[in-house]
C-alpha cells in the first residue's frame, strides 16, 4: 500500500496485509457474515502474514503464520470479507492510540483528537467506514476507551469466554479478545460467531439498571451533567448506589500493579535482551513494570480477591451498571504527555472493574461533549455477555436513537 493510500485510510491499516485475503475455506451461501468487511488488529496470527504487535523489533523476530488465530478463522469461515491488518499501540501497552513507529491513526469523529488505543487502527477502520467489524483486544480498556473516543460500538467479553489461541499476550489474566462495529446488529453477529451462541430477541426481563455516585465522581463535569440530564429526560428507572460503594482508586492501583507484574513476567526478558526501541510512553511503562515488587503484587492480589465477590454480589444475576466508560472525550493530538498520562490514569479508575472481575462490558454511542464523542456502557454479570449486549441494543433503540 502506498503512503498516499495509507493516508487516505486514516492511518488505520498496515502496509503488510492490506487487501491481501488469507487463504480460507469457501463460505457456504447465506453465511452469517456475508458482505461484512473485516479488519484485524496486528496482534492476531493471520495465515501467510507476520504478527508485529506494533513494534518493528517484535515483527523482525516473527515467522509467517501457517494458520490464522481461531477468532480470525471463525469470522472468515462465516463469510466475512477481509479488508486488512490494523495498527496497534506497541505491544498493546497503551490506551492513547499513539505509535512512534507506524503513526497515530486519525480519529474520524474528532480529527484533532487521539483515537484511543491500543486497538487504534481497528476502531478507526470502523469509525471511518472502511470496515463493518474489526477485531481488537482489551486488557485495560483497549476496546472500551477507543469505542467511546470514536463514537462506535465496542465489546469486551467476559474473561475466558473467547479463545485467544493465536493472539499476542500482554497480561494473561486480563487479556480478552474484543471487537468494534458501526451498528448493534453487526456487533451482535460478531458475538454470535465468536461465542458460538445466539442473542436473545428481547432484553433480559426484570433487569436492574444501576448508577453509582463513585463513578459519577470520576467523570469530567460536562460529562456528568450530560449524563444526569439524559437519565432525567429518558425516564429510566435506575437504582442509585451511594458514594463509597466502589473503591475505584484503590482498585485501579491494584489493577496497575498486577497488569504490570504480568507484563514484565511475560515480556521482561525480551525487552532486556533485544533492546527494542519503544516510544517514550511505552518505554516508561516497561521501566515501571520492572520495578514491581512481590510485596506489591501480594497486596494487589488481596485487593483483587475482594473486588470479584464484591461486584458479583452487587450485580447478582440481573444487575447492570450503566455508566460512561471513561471520564470524558479524547485528549487533543497536541496534548502534553503529562495530560495524556493523567487521562489514562483517570480512565483506569473506571475501566479496572471489568478487568479485575472478568466482567463483560458493552460500549454504545451516546453523545458529543465539546465536539467529540463520549459513549455509554453497560457492565454486567460475568458470562452474561448475551444479556449485556441485548440490553445495550434495547437501550440504544429505546432511548438513544431519537
d(CA 112, CA 107) in angstroms, rounded, equals: 8
Known catalytic residue: 57? no
DSSP string, 346-363: HHHHHHHHHHHHT--EEE
SS3 363: strand
Q: Which residue out of 70, 94, 118, 390 is catalytically annotated? A: 118
Beta-bridge partners for 176: 138
DSSP letter, residue 191: H
Residue spans of beta strands (DSSP E) within 123-225: 133-138, 153-156, 176-181, 208-212
Known catalytic residue: 142? yes
Contact at 8 Å (CB) between 327 and 219?
A: yes
Please give the torsion angle defined by the CA atoms of residues 298, 302, 303 and 306, in that order, rounded to the nearest 10 degrees.
170
- The contacts of residue 262 (CB under 8 Å, 6+ apart) are 170, 171, 172, 173, 174
Q: Is 226 left (phi over 0), alpha (psi -120 to 50) or beta?
A: alpha
Neighbours of 80 (CB within 10 A): 29
d(CA 134, CA 382) in angstroms, rounded, equals: 23
Q: Which residue out of 68, 94, 142, 164 is catalytically annotated? A: 142
Known catalytic residue: 41? yes
Per the document, the length of the chain is 402
d(CA 74, CA 163) in angstroms, rounded, equals: 11
Active site residues: 41, 118, 142
Amino acid at each position: 500500500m502506498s503512503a498516499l493510500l495509507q493516508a487516505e485510510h486514516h492511518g488505520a491499516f498496515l502496509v503488510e496485509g492490506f487487501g491481501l485475503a488469507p487463504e480460507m475455506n469457501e463460505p457456504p451461501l447465506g453465511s452469517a457474515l456475508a458482505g461484512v468487511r473485516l479488519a484485524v488488529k496486528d496482534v492476531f496470527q493471520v495465515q501467510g502474514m507476520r504478527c508485529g504487535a506494533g513494534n518493528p523489533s517484535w515483527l523482525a523476530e516473527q515467522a509467517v503464520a501457517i494458520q490464522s488465530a481461531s477468532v480470525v478463522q471463525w469470522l472468515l469461515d462465516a463469510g466475512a470479507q477481509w479488508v486488512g491488518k490494523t495498527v496497534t499501540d506497541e505491544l498493546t501497552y497503551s490506551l492513547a492510540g499513539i505509535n512512534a513507529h507506524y503513526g497515530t491513526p486519525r480519529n474520524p469523529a474528532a480529527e484533532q483528537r487521539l483515537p484511543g488505543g491500543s486497538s487504534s487502527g481497528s476502531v478507526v477502520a470502523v469509525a471511518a467506514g472502511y470496515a463493518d467489524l474489526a477485531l481488537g483486544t482489551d486488557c485495560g480498556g483497549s476496546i472500551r476507551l477507543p469505542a467511546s473516543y470514536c463514537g462506535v460500538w465496542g465489546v469486551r467479553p467476559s474473561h475466558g469466554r473467547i479463545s485467544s489461541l493465536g493472539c499476542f499476550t500482554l497480561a494473561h489474566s486480563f487479556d480478552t479478545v474484543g471487537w468494534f462495529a458501526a451498528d448493534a446488529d453487526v456487533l451482535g453477529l460478531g458475538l454470535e460467531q465468536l461465542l458460538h451462541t445466539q442473542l436473545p430477541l428481547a432484553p433480559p426481563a426484570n433487569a436492574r439498571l444501576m448508577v453509582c455516585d463513585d463513578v459519577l465522581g470520576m467523570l469530567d463535569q460536562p460529562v456528568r451533567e450530560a449524563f444526569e440530564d439524559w437519565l432525567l429526560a429518558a425516564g429510566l428507572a435506575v437504582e442509585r448506589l451511594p458514594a463509597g460503594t466502589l473503591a475505584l482508586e484503590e482498585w485501579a492501583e491494584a489493577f496497575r500493579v498486577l497488569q504490570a507484574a504480568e507484563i514484565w513476567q511475560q515480556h521482561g526478558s525480551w525487552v532486556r535482551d533485544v533492546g527494542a526501541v519503544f516510544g517514550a510512553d511505552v518505554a516508561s511503562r516497561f521501566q515501571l513494570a520492572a520495578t514491581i515488587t512481590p510485596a506489591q503484587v501480594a497486596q494487589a492480589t488481596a485487593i483483587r480477591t475482594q473486588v470479584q465477590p464484591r461486584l458479583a454480589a452487587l450485580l447478582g444475576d440481573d444487575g447492570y451498571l450503566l455508566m460512561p466508560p471513561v471520564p470524558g472525550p479524547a485528549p487533543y493530538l497536541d496534548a502534553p504527555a503529562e495530560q495524556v498520562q493523567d487521562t489514562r490514569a483517570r480512565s483506569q479508575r473506571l475501566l479496572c472493574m471489568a478487568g479485575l472481575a472478568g466482567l463483560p462490558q458493552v460500549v454504545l454511542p451516546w453523545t458529543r461533549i465539546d465536539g467529540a464523542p463520549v459513549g455509554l456502557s453497560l457492565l454486567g454479570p460475568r458470562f452474561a455477555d448475551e444479556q449485556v449486549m441485548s440490553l445495550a441494543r434495547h437501550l440504544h433503540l429505546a432511548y438513544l436513537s431519537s
